[in-house]
Structure 1
Amino acid sequence: MPPVSFKAIIASIAVVSLTACQSVPQSTSAITVSAYAPETPQLSCAPHGNPNGSPAKLTANRTRIGDPAYIEFRQRFSPGIPSGHLYVVFGRLDAKGNPVTRLYTGLFPKGSLAGLYAGALVPMPADLVPSYADCHLTPNAAYRVSLTESQYQQLLGKVQEDLANPPMWRMFGYNCNNYAASLGSVAGLVEPANRAQPSFSYIYAYIDANGDGGQKAAS
């Protein structure tokens, strides 16, 4: 076997060291992206030109530092119905309790205004994916509650089940308010005593029913 020169040994060590240095950042980057990838991309606002969604000024906030995820209830103006619309935003939190992903879902009848008012008489097929208004209109109120990993997995399971088999929408009985509250049940949240009130008052009653009406919110 021919002798190996000192220069060849040094060159080999340099190559190994360089490879090792390059591999660490690549691996870390992959983990970071994977950890914050949206679990249900069909609920992203990307189709409406707002892939990261929008933050909201919080009316009430029950976030525990260290919880990895959250659910947020938002109420907005709706051009089709005076009561407005209640929908849910959910996703992952960073170490400081700030959202890093936003996925949107809410129960709204198919058929636009015709479906909306037909739902006063008969149950109507519904959509759960976000609308342009969900992704762009400023909410009138927002209520955030952080979730444990177990609670978040329950939420994801329920959302995916509902996407596969969407609930029927009824103006009186099971509307956007009641659907949002059904998702909140994974965190032990309960509906207000009056389940039939309009969205613009329902969200405040929902906050009060869960003991967060008197707290100061931080966005």
Structure 2
Amino acid sequence: MLPSFLRLAAAACLCLAFAGCTSTASGNNTVMAGAPANATDSLVQPAAFAPSEEGQSRLAKPYFISFRARNAESYGHTFVVFGRLDASGHVPYDSRGVLVPSMTEIAGLHPASTSVVPYMLGHFVPVPSETGASDGDSEKAYLLAEWTIPLTAAQYNEIVPYIHKLQARSPVWNALTYNCSAFVADVARHMGYKTPSPLHLPRDFINDMRKMNT
């Protein structure tokens, strides 16, 4: 019989195939799904802006929310991006394919560490979380799936406070009970959308949610 610590490690590796966010990163187009925001240039800091009158006359729905899944070394990460569209009605990226920080904000649930240990433990018990941008969320190159919905100023003003409240009351992450997809599902259901199981892989979760509602 395997020693208890080996059985625990094997179980953790098995759980990694099902749900939540990964904890390691290496290679091309793979990033740490749960890495908290840091000083990296590619990370989008919360814009925390309110809709203004400027530019609203040109677009009936000048704001947006985007439900997204991005690549990672194992099964990826699910999160939301929201903010103001550019003058052409598109999600704003710069020339490098990185979201424009002054026009966008990112929210997503992930363990509050870059260490592998909390991610492994998070498949058994809740671990402390963060709810902002993680490494790679802002970069178009890592996208696996997205569903972007234009919003009026009134719709935007309604959903953003809810997201901020959800961030404030989501202190823990657990792969099986409340993971990154469950966090995104709460946002989508608040907007009246149907959602699949949060145990789906992030790419499947976003694609299935889009199909369920369109």
Q: Which bin holds the TM-score, normalised by the shorter protein?
A: 0.5 to 0.7
RCO higher in structure (CA 8 A, sep ≥6): 2
Partner residue of 2:124 out of 121, 124, 141: 121
2:90 equivalent in structure 1: 98
- Tell me, what secondary structure is at the counterpart of 2:137? helix
Q: Which of 191, 208, 211 is equivalent to 2:211?
A: 208
More helix by share: 1
Looking at CA atoms only, which structure, 1 or 2, has the larger radius of gyration? Answer: 1
Partner residue of 1:108 out of 91, 110, 133: 110
CA contact 1:71–1:184 (8 Å) conserved in 2 = no
1:68 aligns with 2:72: no
Q: Secondary structure at the match of 1:91?
A: strand
Measure the CA separation in 2 of the matches of 1:154 and 1:123.
30
Partners of 1:190 and 1:85 in 2: CA distance: 19
Deviation at 1:99, TM superposition (A): 3.2
User: Would you say how many aligned residue pairs link Structure 1 and Structure 2?
Assistant: 153
1 CA distance for matches of 2:199 and 2:167? 24
Mind listing any 5+ residue stretches in structure 1 that lack a counterpart? 1-44, 54-64, 212-219
**CA–CA distance in structure 1, aligned partners of residues 113 and 155 of structure 2:** 33
1:89 aligns with 2:81: yes
In structure 2, the residue corresponding to 1:145 is in which secondary structure?
Answer: strand
Tell me the distance in 2 between the aligned counterparts of 1:147 and 1:185.
Answer: 16
Shift of 1:70: 0.8
SS in 1 for 2:64: strand
Unaligned 5+ runs, structure 2? 1-36, 46-58, 93-102
Is the contact between residue 179 and residue 198 of structure 2 (CA under 8 Å) also seen in structure 1? no
1:62 is matched with: none
Q: Secondary structure of 1:135's partner?
A: coil
Deviation, 1:95, is 5.9
1:99–1:204 distance in 2 versus 1, CA, 3 Å: closer
Counting aligned pairs with the same residue, the percent is: 27
Superposed displacement of residue 84, structure 1: 0.9
Would the aligned equivalents of 1:75 and 1:86 in 2 still touch at CA under 8 Å?
yes
Name the counterpart of 2:156: 152
**Residue aligning to 1:61:** none
Distance in 2, matches of 1:84 and 1:52, equals 18
Q: Which of 167, 171, 179 is matched with 1:175 structurally?
A: 179
Bigger shift: residues 180-189 or 91-100: 91-100
CA contact (8 A) 1:89 1:103 kept: yes
Structure 2 letter corresponding to 1:108: H
How far apart in 1 are the matches of 2:192 and 2:156? 12
The two structures, once aligned, show a CA RMSD in angstroms of 2.5
Shift of 1:85: 0.7
Give the deviation of 1:187 after TM superposition.
Answer: 2.9
Normalised by the length of structure 1, the TM-score is 0.61
Residue in 1 that maps onto 2:145: 141
